[in-house]
Amino acid sequence: MTGRASVCTRRALPALAALLLALAFALSAASAPARAAIPPAPTLSAPSAAVFEASTGEPVLGRAAGQRRMIASTTKLMTALVTVSSLELDHVCTAPPYSASPLETQIGLRAGERMRVRDLLRALLLPSANDAAATLAVCVAGTRGAFVARMNRRAQQLGLAHTHFSTPVGLDDARNYSTAADLVRLGIAVRSEAFLRTTTDLPRATLRSGDRVRTVVNRNALVLDVPWVDGLKTGHTTTAGYVLVASGTRRDTTFVAAVLGDPSEAARNADALALLRWAFASFRVVTPVTKGEVLARPAVTHRPDEHVAVVARRTDRELLRRDARVRVVVDAPSELEGPLPSGAVVGTATVRANGREIARVPLVTAAPVPEVGLLEQAGRALDDPGSLVLILAVLGGAATLLVRARGARRRRERRRADMEAA
């Protein structure tokens, strides 16, 4: 019985070991941080759409994003951008006569009424008032045509190669068009202006200049309903359909989406929100290297107790999929020999995502590296006990060789004298 049990035990040991190994592996996998799964791209009603990350300007998804389409009142994003770069916010504008159709959105400016630029911009961006757009155009450039010329120049400066404006208002016109990608780029530029960024995130505003106090409400329902949605501009005409440029911010990361040609306001809002949610679920912005960050401290050659900080010359900000693994590889010397000025390039920080190199950041000295003179080098050598022993050994060896040489010379001299005597 005992022998038979021993044989069974020996046979069971490999299986038991394999089971324990599998269990340990499972526990390790369970305790390891899970890699985020990337959701599938959303299904959209809009025939054209795009979403970009704002700080890097990187596109993350597009659907016919380069297709030229009418853009309705999202035109007013450029009207606002040209205005803030041309006039002070407290500048007072005089409203020109404006003949509007019954369906146009207005705040009821009468010809000759005076209103500050900041209130006209709020009226332009929140309820999308066409009379405010017309007033700003004349106030900035003198005529509507001259203002439109400025809009197109700014579009060129921003690199909006598939955009053209013919109106500051956004009424249907075949010469007034853009694309989903260009509208996102325009939205990112608008967000770079603090007043415009703040205004497009307001649920409502009170306009206190003008002949009477007015309260206006933001037509962008996403700003009202979703806490992290913070802009930007709606648009709608019969020909353009429903258009929206929407932005959302979470944990210091902002995505901007544009949807063009949606069949309804509800579909427009759903599409824009789906794009923003997908972008946040799929991508993240990381800063693997920050400008001025100390990444190495090499010693000064011949001064082993003195070190110089080596820092990143610039910040590296990257847009990555959420499942990407990031690593920074620092290549810097262990010693630096001076003289070197502050800011001298002495190494590289390589940023890798899933093993692939995505950026290289130069490493520079944060302070000058001093030159160590020969006298100081010699003095430090004498201060080192090991060096002193070596020097004494060398001197001792030299003295021994000298004594031996002298003895040999004396023997040769005696031998020569003995030969002469003989």
Range of the domain at 334: 290-365
Mean pLDDT, rounded, for 90-95? 98
The number of C-alpha atoms within 13 Å of 51 and in the hemisphere containing its C-beta is 24
Do both 256 and 340 map to the same domain?
A: no
CA distance 91 to 110: 18
Domain boundary among 228, 260, 282: 282
Q: Answer whether residue 376 shows pLDDT above 70.
A: no
The percentage of the chain sitting over the pLDDT mark of 90, rounded to a whole number, equals: 76
CA distance 43 to 277: 12
Do both 276 and 295 map to the same domain?
A: no
Q: Answer whether residue 377 shows pLDDT above 70.
A: no
Of 12-21, 97-106, 134-143, 192-201, minimum mean pLDDT range: 12-21
Q: Phi, psi (5° rounding) for residue 243?
A: -125, 145
Question: Which CATH number is 144's domain given?
Answer: 3.40.710.10
pTM of the model: 0.78
**Number of domains making up the chain:** 2
Do both 237 and 305 map to the same domain?
A: no
Do both 114 and 212 map to the same domain?
A: yes
Burial 146-156 (b: 16+ CB within 10 A, else e): ebbebbbebbe
Strand duo 229-237 + 214-217: pairing: unpaired
Domain boundary among 245, 263, 282: 282
Q: Which tens digits make up the pLDDT trace of 177-236?
A: 999 999 999 999 999 999 999 999 999 999 999 999 999 999 999 999 999 999 999 999
Would 395 be classed as within a structural domain? no
Contact yes or no for 247/231 (Cβ under 8 A): yes
Do both 211 and 236 map to the same domain?
A: yes
Q: Which tens digits make up the pLDDT trace of 379-414?
A: 555 555 665 565 556 556 656 666 676 766 777 667
Do both 199 and 131 map to the same domain?
A: yes
Do both 238 and 342 map to the same domain?
A: no
Do both 313 and 205 map to the same domain?
A: no
pLDDT of the residue at 417: 59
Would 237 be classed as within a structural domain? yes
pLDDT of the residue at 33: 42
pLDDT of the residue at 372: 78
Peptide bond into 339 cis (omega under 30): yes
Q: DSSP 3-state helix, strand, coil percentages of the chain (rounded to 5)? A: 40, 25, 35
Question: Which CATH number is 343's domain given?
Answer: 2.60.410.10
Do both 135 and 63 map to the same domain?
A: yes
Do both 114 and 132 map to the same domain?
A: yes
Do both 81 and 159 map to the same domain?
A: yes
Do both 100 and 217 map to the same domain?
A: yes
The number of C-alpha atoms within 13 Å of 137 and in the hemisphere containing its C-beta is 30
Contact yes or no for 44/271 (Cβ under 8 A): yes
Mean pLDDT, rounded, for 153-174? 97
The percentage of the chain sitting over the pLDDT mark of 70, rounded to a whole number, equals: 81
Q: Tokens 């910040």 sit at which residue?
A: 315
